Amino acid sequence: TIYALSSAPGRGALAVIRISGPASDMALKHLMMRDELPPARKATLTSLTAPNGELLDRGLVLRFQAPLSFTGGEDCAELHLHGSPAVVHAVQDALRELRLRPAEAGEFARRAFDAGKLDLTQARAQPHHAHLHAHHSAWLDVEGLADLLAADTESQRRQALLHSTAHLTVAFPLPSVAARLEAVIDFGEDEGIAEDVAAGVLPLVCDLRQQLEGHLASAASGELVRTGVRIAIVGPPNAGKSSLLNLLAGQEAAIVSPAPGTTRDVVQVQLELGGVKVILIDSAGLRQTDCPIEAEGVRRAVAAAHQAHIVLHLADATSGAAADGVDSRGQLADVALPLPAQIVQLWVMNKADLVPGCHEAAGATVPPAPHLLVSCKSGQGIDQLLALLQQHVRALVASGGDGGMAGALVTRARHKRTSVPPDILVALQHLEVQCEEVRAAARALGRVTGAIDTAMVLDSLFCEFCIGK
Partner 1 sequence: MWRRGLSSVAQGWLSCDVVVVGGGHAGCEAAAAAARRGAATLLVTPSPSASIGEMSCNPSIGGVAKGTLVREVDALDGLMARAADAAGIQFRMLNASKGPAVRGPRAQMDRVLYKWAVQRMLGGVPGLAIHDGAVVDLLVEPRPSGGGPGPVVAGVVLASGERILCRSVVVTTGTFLRGVIHVGSHSRPAGRIASLTSAREASRPEAAREAELTDEADVTAAGAATRLARRFADLGFALGRLKTGTPPRLDGRTIDWSVCEEQPGDGAPTPFSFLHLQQPGWSPPAGQVSCFGTRTTAASEALVLDCMASGERRDGMTVAQGGCVEPRYCPSLETKFRRFPGRTHHVWLEPEGLGTDVVYPNGISNSMEPEDQLRLLQTIPGLGAARMLAPAYAVEYDYVDPRELAPTLETRRLRGLYLAGQINGTTGYEEAAAQGLVAGANAAAPGGRDPLLLSRADGYLGVLVDDLVGRGTSEPYRMLSARAEFRLRLRPDNADLRLTEAGLQLGLVGAERAASFQQRRQQVEDAEQLLDAIQLSSSAWARRGLHVSQDGDYISAAQMLTRPGITLSQLAAAAAAEQVPGWQQLQELAAAAAVSAVPYLEKMEAEVAELRRDEALLIPEWLDYSALQLSAEDREKLTAARPTSLAAAQRIPGVTPSALLLLLQHVRKRQPREGGGDGSRRSSAADGSSQLAQEAAAEAAASGF
From the list 26, 149, 271, 276, which residue makes contact with partner 1 (rule: CB under 8 A)?
149
CB-nearer residue toward partner 1: 7 or 454? 454
Binding status of residue 427 toward partner 1 by CB under 8 A: yes
Binding status of residue 429 toward partner 1 by CB under 8 A: yes
Binding status of residue 139 toward partner 1 by CB under 8 A: yes
CB-nearer residue toward partner 1: 58 or 135? 135
Specify the stretch interacting with partner 1 by CB under 8 A; choose among 79-87, 110-118, 290-298, 369-377: 110-118
| 312 contact partners, CB below 8 Å, separation of at least 6 | 231, 232, 233, 234, 244, 346, 348, 389
Distance from C-alpha of 142 to C-alpha of 162, rounded to nearest angstrom:
23
CB-nearer residue toward partner 1: 108 or 172? 108
Task: Give the amino acid at 335.
Answer: V
User: For residues 187-206, which are near partner 1 according to CB under 8 A?
Assistant: 187-192
Binding status of residue 115 toward partner 1 by CB under 8 A: yes
CB-nearer residue toward partner 1: 387 or 427? 427
Binding status of residue 105 toward partner 1 by CB under 8 A: yes
CB-nearer residue toward partner 1: 284 or 435? 435
**Shortest distance in whole angstroms from residue 90 CB to partner 1:** 25
Please work out the total of residues on this chain that contact partner 1, with binding judged by CB under 8 A: 51
User: For residues 447-466, which are near partner 1 according to CB under 8 A?
Assistant: 450-451, 453-454, 457-458, 461-462, 466
Binding status of residue 70 toward partner 1 by CB under 8 A: no
From the list 155, 218, 345, 365, which residue makes contact with partner 1 (rule: CB under 8 A)?
155
Half-sphere exposure (Cβ direction) of 175: Cα atoms closer than 13 Å:
21
Alpha helices in 380-430 (DSSP H): 382-399, 405-418, 422-427
- CA–CA distances in Å: residue 11 to residues 86, 96, 205, 220, 338: 10, 22, 35, 14, 18
| 320 contact partners, CB below 8 Å, separation of at least 6 | none
Do residues 263 and 242 make contact, with C-beta atoms less than 8 angstroms apart? Answer: yes
Closest CA to 5 of 13, 17, 14: 17
Specify the stretch interacting with partner 1 by CB under 8 A; choose among 132-140, 238-246, 312-320, 383-391: 132-140
CB-nearer residue toward partner 1: 175 or 236? 175
From the list 157, 309, 414, 439, which residue makes contact with partner 1 (rule: CB under 8 A)?
439
Do residues 249 and 280 make contact, with C-beta atoms less than 8 angstroms apart? Answer: yes
Q: How many CB atoms lie within 10 A of CB 141?
A: 15
Residue 373 in 3-state DSSP?
Answer: strand
DSSP structure string for 309-330? SEEEEEEETTSGGGGSHHHHHH
CA trace torsion 226, 265, 335, 332 (10° rounding):
70
- CA–CA distances in Å: residue 112 to residues 21, 152, 262, 364: 11, 12, 51, 60
Distance from C-alpha of 324 to C-alpha of 234, rounded to nearest angstrom:
18
Q: DSSP secondary-structure letter at 338?
A: P
From the list 40, 55, 185, 204, which residue makes contact with partner 1 (rule: CB under 8 A)?
185
Specify the stretch interacting with partner 1 by CB under 8 A; choose among 75-83, 237-245, 391-399, 431-439: 431-439
Binding status of residue 180 toward partner 1 by CB under 8 A: no
CB-nearer residue toward partner 1: 183 or 248? 183
Q: Interface with partner 1 by CB under 8 A: which residues?
A: 73, 105-106, 109-110, 113-116, 120, 136, 138-139, 141-142, 145-146, 148-149, 155, 182, 185-192, 427-433, 436, 439-440, 450-451, 453-454, 457-458, 461-462, 466-469
